[in-house]
Amino acid sequence: MIVGFDNVSLAYEGEPEILREVSFTLGEGEFRFLTGPSGAGKTSLLKMIYLAHRPTRGAVTLFGEDVTAAPREALPALRRRIGVVFQEFRLLDHLTAFENVALPMKVAGINPNQYREDVRELLNWVGLGHRIDARPPSLSGGEKQRVALARALVAKPDLILADEPTGNVDPVMGEKIMKLFIELNKLGAAVIVATHDITLIEALGKPIMHLEGGRLHDQPTTPPAKKGKRG
């Protein structure tokens, strides 16, 4: 099992619980979309998997290990196995696409000879082989997202977490990016992609977990009735 939530609840300090008794498992090589309206707790749930937030109640398992109360020192090793595409991990504007993707390896002190080819290959794979020396300010939103995806993959993680990866791109690019996640999953990684954009993922035929009212609805392959603005 890659991720396990057993009756997990989360409350931010002094606030009521925003996630209540959430249970699910994600097995090796499984793919899941995580949907729900804005404010439902999608980002919070992903951050609990990344161990940035700890549950108020319940238990979290990662890679088969109970990590609910894992000591701080254990977190870097666990996190190295997780590739994240989160809004707040932006690309660095003064580095090229290549350097941005290579950064996690560089920071880990790995010899460039060991990752140079991988970085090139990843950038080719996301369709940016020709933009390898471009810096983020000269890239489009979709190109930036694909660089961020390549960066999340460079350490060959067992689990990929993406938070609204199609947030700032047009629907055609959005679909392309979602398909990259699906391809990636076919190569073996377990993947969770959070998005409020149900229309974008309906056609992709992948299992959906739906968060609403603090609860997880495990088999909402039928999306909820569309009412007004989603976001």
Ligand X SMILES: Nc1ncnc2c1ncn2[C@@H]1O[C@H](COP(=O)(O)OP(=O)(O)O)[C@@H](O)[C@H]1O
**Span 51-80, contacts to ligand X by CB under 6 A:** none
Q: What's the closest the beta carbon of residue 4 comes to ligand X, in angstroms?
A: 20
Is there binding between residue 190 and ligand X (CB under 6 A)?
no
Residue nearest to Mg ion (CB): 43
Q: Contacting ligand X (CB under 6 A), which of 36, 55, 104, 157? A: 36
- Of these, 8, 20, 30, 41, which contacts ligand X (CB under 6 A)? 41
The stretch near ligand X (CB under 6 A) out of 40-48, 69-77, 134-142, 214-222 is 40-48
Q: 20 or 47, CB closer to Mg ion?
A: 47
Which of 27, 39, 171, 188 touches ligand X (CB under 6 A)? 39
Tell whether residue 127 is a contact of ligand X (CB under 6 A). no
Look up residue 84 and give its two tokens: 């994240």
Told to check if 43 binds ligand X by CB under 6 A, we report yes
Question: Which residue in 147, 141, 103, 104 sits closest to 122, CA to CA?
Answer: 147
Q: Pick from ligand X, Mg ion, none: which does 12 bind, CB < 5 to 8 A by kind? A: ligand X
Query: Where do contacts with ligand X occur on this chain (CB under 6 A)?
Result: 12, 15, 18, 36, 38-44
